[in-house]
Amino acid sequence: MEIKKILVANRGEIAIRIMRTAKDMGIRTVAIYSEADRNALHVRFADEAVLVGAPAPTFSYLNMDKIIQVALSLNVDAIHPGYGFLSENALFAQKIKDAGLIFIGPSPTAIETMGSKLKAKETAASHQIPLVPGTETAITDMQEARKIAGEIGYPILIKASAGGGGKGMRLVEHANDFEDQMKRAVSEAMAAFGDGAVFIEKYIRSPKHIEIQILGDQHGNIVHLFERECSIQRRHQKLVEEAPSAVLSPTIRKQMGDHAVKIAKACNYYSAGTVEFIMDENFNYYFLEINTRLQVEHPVTELITGVDLVKEQILIAEGKPLSFSQEDLKIKGHAIELRVCAEDPLNNFLPHTGLITNYITPKGPGVRVDDGYEQNLEVSIYYDPMIAKLICYGTTRDEAISRMQRAIDEYQITGIATTLSFGKFVMQHESFQSGKFDTQFIANYFTPNSLAPSVNSETEKVAVYIADLLFHQKSSSTNNISPPAEHKTNWGIRKVFK
């Protein structure tokens, strides 16, 4: 079926990203928006826009029935969920299908199967894909769980089966802490996902986070589009991503790609998806999970392969076969992405919402900005604080790094704190430049003092000392906890560095 009109069930930069490709393909677009997003860019960018509810996502961007009702009333052919919100909700995908519409994404069955980490691990194990040592089923009995943890050996991770983004995840270093952390993980999982199921796995210290982009059609054809390195994270959420990885050999790259395709075929997967792995210092890799959607970091893959992943998603949803094979795909150049978030690196990366008073994006060779904001728009407390994605491409990794540094210098955002300065710190750090970094990059190398240009006066020295002290106190107190809800900023400290 030819798609002529798409409703994008999302907001911000990803909504605009999808609409741009749709317009390139001659497809009309419909935006939905909440009361907080009346003036948002994605509302103005779409051909049509409909208010769906109050600012809180539950009443707007998560309101399945309302979204489908809008789609039907406007004679929409298909719904694209973007990422986040309802993108990995099997019930939403099924409701769309039952309404006679097309869901631009994988089948409800694949979403349900791979949306559960336990089911995904079971599928991976049945196809001889390496797994981190741990439990194969959900753990509910405390004594049995304690016994299993002891057999695996500390440190261990307790992880929510239905979760992601660090929610319901607890690191346990010692047996004496197990019961308390177990209760906390179950409570967090229930609060975040309505599902308290958790499992236990061995904690791999200082791993690399490597993911493989997959793409499949509805005719059984599946390919991988190589890897992305996503190891620079805070609170288990990515901040810097690149493609390809600086350290993977062609042999390991092929092995990981083959395993990703293998697990995708096991669940009859189609559309775009990502198979995530963790890798230890000896380049042993282990299956982590599958994200059954487009990833935030998909642009770096697009730049090194020349494939528009959103366009391919739409063509696959129309029932068309892939127009290329694995042999047709080649890596060309290098791409790096920085998530530009309204977060304060000087204050433990806490959200820093408010009005953007100045906004000028970088330009020039090899620079791409996917954003959803402009000057005089407000970053709302109701949604993810990401403002934009800054992506830089070069023929070599060194060139991509240089262009990223230049682009960060050109990017002007005032009125709120952002992660731009942190991105510059990463690009200039020897560990990143050499490729010898892992998920502990922030813990190992970064403090607020890292961003201080110069410290001369006694007042500045005291401010830096306090900022470092607060950073370390908050880092230790938020051990494997999802981001705090408060949106506080230490203005006294910020004045020193702005």
- DSSP assignments along 179-240, one per residue: HHHHHHHHHHHHHHHS---EEEEE--SS-EEEEEEEEE-TTS-EEEEEEEEEEEEETTEEEE
CA atoms within 13 A on the CB side of 151: 10
User: Can you read off the two tokens belonging to residue 398?
Assistant: 């060194």
CA-wise closest residue to 329 among 263, 243, 267, 397: 243
What is the C-alpha separation between 435 and 438, in angstroms, rounded? 9
- DSSP assignments along 253-274, one per residue: HHHHHHHHHHHHHHTT--EEEE
Q: 239 with 332: CB under 8 angstroms?
A: no
What is the C-alpha separation between 132 and 383, in angstroms, rounded? 33
Q: Are strands 208-216 and 271-279 parallel, antiparallel or unpaired?
A: antiparallel
For the chain, the straight-line distance linking the first and the last C-alpha, in angstroms and rounded, comes to 54
Active-site residue 28, yes or no?
no
Q: Show Cβ contacts of residue 432 under 8 Å, excluding neighbours closer than 6 positions.
A: 232, 240, 401, 426, 441
**What are the strands of the beta sheet with 198-202, ordered from one edge?**
170-172, 156-160, 198-202
* Region of residue 166 (phi > 0: left; psi between -120 and 50: alpha; otherwise: beta): left
CA-wise closest residue to 261 among 222, 227, 295, 298: 222
CA-wise closest residue to 85 among 114, 121, 107, 56: 56
**What are the strands of the beta sheet with 102-103, ordered from one edge?**
48-53, 28-34, 5-8, 78-80, 102-103
Q: Are strands 378-379 and 354-355 parallel, antiparallel or unpaired?
A: antiparallel
What is the C-alpha separation between 61 and 143, in angstroms, rounded? 41
Which amino acid, residue 463? Answer: A
Helix, strand, or coil here: 343? strand
From the candidates 28, 228, 235, 293, which is the catalytic residue?
Answer: 293
The angle, 0 to 180 degrees and rounded to 10, between the axes of the packed helices 12-24 and 309-317 is 70
**What does R_g of the chain's alpha carbons equal in angstroms?**
22
> Any idea what DSSP says for residue 320?
P
The catalytic site residues sit at 293
